[in-house]
Amino acid sequence: MSRLETAFYDLGHLDLLAEKNTPIHRLDPRVKVVVTLLFILYVVSFDRYEVARLLPFFLFPAVLIGMADLPFGYLWRKLLLVSPFVLFIGIFNPFLDREILLQVGPLGISGGWISLLSILLRFILSVGAGLLLIATTGFPAICMSLEKLGAPKVFTVQLLMLYRYLFVLIEETIRMIRAYTLRSFAKKRIRYPVFRHLLGNLLLRTLDRAQRIHMAMLSRALTGEIRIARQFKFGPAELFSLAGCIVLLTFMRFADIAEFLGKLILETVT
């Protein structure tokens, strides 16, 4: 199986997770979208040397994974997949920023290392939150709730169509590559001129399909605007979890829980 095929089935797995039936999955998607946005906003708004105050925020994904019955290992591997990009953003910090900020016994830790750690933590938290949102809500529901929250329709419909036909397009590509591989024998990589043809062919097929889809839309009385019937319900459970999350996240953002806990422990010890 090619890497593309593996990635394809993996993408389907995220969809499967979103079909589970837990209290978190049943929540109105709008609540989850708003809370996730707030969470990411708070996480990235900390000072660049901040580490300790980021840690309490791990409570949020941990509780979500538990309540929504999600496989931690799978989500963790997804995070690792993206991590090299993030690592490269911060990799030079230790060399550029050598001012010692923290003294642990004989070991002086420079500001660069701390900011690198901070970047990594922020990455895990924010990308993790995004993944959790998709795994508990599903991509289509997120798009629809974005629209209900006031995002431009052109944008949400585009995203919905993209997601719908991503699978069709990948399948088509897989079939083409398979046909190529079966007749190219020992050559492992697709040669550039052939690749150009494959890509061109894919574009033509896509245009054809777009025309057929438009035809199908017209025959179902398309008037120029794509309407979505989905009704979301905002009940007591939604109100409670939205208010609860906002209060809790705001508290974690503006109150220094780590310091408070540290003091508490020190006081009980002494």
Partner 1 sequence: MSHHIVEAKNLEFTYPDNTHALLGISFRIRHGESVAIVGANGAGKSTLLLHLNGYLTPTSGQVRIGDFPLTKETLQEVRRTVGMVFQDPDDQLFMSTVYDDVAFGPLNLGLPIEEVDVRVLKALDTVGMTHLKDRPPHRLSSGQKRRVAFATVLSMSPDILVMDEPTANLDPQARRQLINLLSTFKHSKIFATHDLDMVMDLCERTIILHDGKIKADGPTSEIFQNERLLAESHLEKPFRLQGCPVCC
Give the binding range for partner 1 (CB under 8 A) out of 47-55, 60-68, 127-135, 165-173. Answer: 165-173
Taking the complex as a whole, how short is the minimal distance between the CB of residue 155 and partner 1, in angstroms? 15
Rounded Cα distance, 119 and 111, in Å: 12
| 100-104 and 107-110 strand pairing | antiparallel
> How wide is the angle at C-alpha 124 spanned by C-alphas 94 and 60, nearest 5°?
135
* Positions 227 through 246 that interact with partner 1 (CB under 8 A): 227-231
CB-wise, 18 or 121, nearer to partner 1?
18
Taking the complex as a whole, how short is the minimal distance between the CB of residue 15 and partner 1, in angstroms? 6
Of 114, 116, 132, 160, the one binding partner 1 (CB under 8 A) is 160
Is residue 12 at the binding interface for partner 1, with CB under 8 A as the rule? Answer: yes
172 Cβ neighbours under 8 A, 6+ residues apart: 202, 205
Rounded Cα distance, 47 and 52, in Å: 11
CB-wise, 38 or 174, nearer to partner 1?
174
Of 100, 179, 222, 255, the one binding partner 1 (CB under 8 A) is 222
Taking the complex as a whole, how short is the minimal distance between the CB of residue 96 and partner 1, in angstroms? 45
Name the DSSP class of 219: T
> Are 127 and 43 within 8 A, CB to CB?
no
Terminus-to-terminus CA distance in the chain, angstroms?
A: 62
Q: Catalog residues that contact partner 1 under the rule CB under 8 A.
A: 12, 15, 19, 138-140, 143, 160-161, 163-165, 167-168, 209, 212-213, 215-223, 226-231
